[in-house]
Chain A
């Protein structure tokens, strides 16, 4: 079973349950297990659907690329933990953070936003909620490119980002203001486009290709939730006498 075939809600449930269990189960054994599972997930073939490798390593297995991303993201936390805590605490918190990082890196690689939107609409969620997530994800790269253009344009006009803090703050204002004002002017255009397409808040839409949601996966999601609750209750009961 690969990440590609799983229902988006199942992917979210796994990515949510693993960090929850990492924090609930006793450290460091619980965290070690959840971190191992999360890192193993990053090696599954479905972790990067349609991806044949990244950058300078196109022949590497996509799963390994996801694994490497997870490890590289988690490593600085271990260094900072060692700087601030003793070794047992570093291991306990580090394993939890590694679980969280690996789970989310795997989720980002396995989850396709259009499938999630379809699944949310099929489950009866408002199309507005799905729009908020998808529109933000698509707007960020565009605004970042615009921010870079503004930086270059202001430099051409002689804006210097050097000097003391007041000078830098003035430079920041000159860079941020055009970006924010231009973005706000887009709101009307977006509202018009949404209205034209009939995305009025509260209206239900019919999904075009809802992802299949087998009974087994639905049961697995409930089982994950119950496992987290059971672990939490057990932890509280075991911890309370001491």
Chain B
């Protein structure tokens, strides 16, 4: 791994953790906690993306211990983003948003068993409330848990993919060319 890619990992992880300030400012029910993982993968490939996801989870765990079991989700997000980057799905919002929605489904399918078995679906207040809503709608416990995860992940991942697409297109071509996957991800090569 080159020294530039090594330097990218903590910056990308810090982006995921610092974006909460922007989200709070616009009062949207989003996490954007995989932005750095998806961005690092789109720029530099799956190895850097997975490392970013693991570091993000490790540092997030120091603030909230319930994040650690979800490190698996970060790894799956990185692998999915790599496939999306290879296919050039970050070339426009028209391709990126559906790809993000697909990731939302995969992320909620992955996180539901962890959330259900380890935490009884109480990872965050929002998810607990949407799970309670699912139960009130008559869903079985696992179904209600999936409903809670799905509601929170579906839109979040679509917005994250759109944001990463904006960033990749906003990067000066010379800067983008320094990262091995950036141009391919936006369909420029």
Q: Is the CB of B15 within 8 A of A180?
A: yes
Contacts of A169 in B (CB 8 A): 26, 28, 159
Interface size, A (range): 35 or more
Q: Is the CB of B61 within 8 A of A104?
A: yes
Q: Is the CB of A97 within 8 A of B66?
A: yes
> Does B166 count as interface, using CB distance less than 8 angstroms?
yes
Please judge, given known A-B contacts A84-B131, A175-B26, whether A101 and B7 are in contact too, CB under 8 Å. no
A11 to B138, CA, bound (A): 44
Instruction: List CB contacts (< 8 Å) of A151-208 with chain B.
Output: 151, 161, 165, 168-169, 171-173, 175-177, 179-181, 183-188, 190-191, 194-195, 199-201
Contacts of B6 in A (CB 8 A): 128, 131-132, 191, 194, 201
Q: Is the interface of B mostly helix, strand, loop or mixed?
A: helix
Instruction: List CB contacts (< 8 Å) of B12-65 with chain A.
Output: 13-15, 17-23, 25-28, 30, 32, 35, 39, 51, 55-56, 58-59, 61-62, 64-65
Q: Is the CB of A147 within 8 A of B22?
A: yes
Please judge, given known A-B contacts A84-B131, A132-B9, A191-B4, whether A143 and B28 are in contact too, CB under 8 Å. no
A183 to B19, CA, bound (A): 12
Contacts of B62 in A (CB 8 A): 104, 107-108, 137
Contacts of A23 in B (CB 8 A): 118
Please judge, given known A-B contacts A103-B65, A136-B59, A184-B11, whether A84 and B128 are in contact too, CB under 8 Å. yes
State how many angstroms separate the Cβ of A217 from the closest Cβ of chain B.
22
Q: Is the interface of A mostly helix, strand, loop or mixed?
A: helix
- The stretch of B72-80, B81-89, B119-127 that contacts the partner chain: B119-127
> Does B135 count as interface, using CB distance less than 8 angstroms?
yes
In the complex, residue of chain B having the shortest beta-carbon distance to the beta carbon of A199: B3
9 extra interface residue pairs, beta carbon distance < 8 Å, beyond A136-B13, A147-B21, A183-B18: A80-B125, A81-B122, A84-B128, A89-B120, A90-B120, A101-B66, A169-B28, A176-B32, A186-B11
Residues of A near any B CB (own CB < 8 A): 19, 23, 73, 76-77, 80-81, 83-85, 89-90, 93, 97, 100-101, 103-105, 107-108, 128, 131-133, 135-137, 139-140, 142-144, 146-148, 150-151, 161, 165, 168-169, 171-173, 175-177, 179-181, 183-188, 190-191, 194-195, 199-201
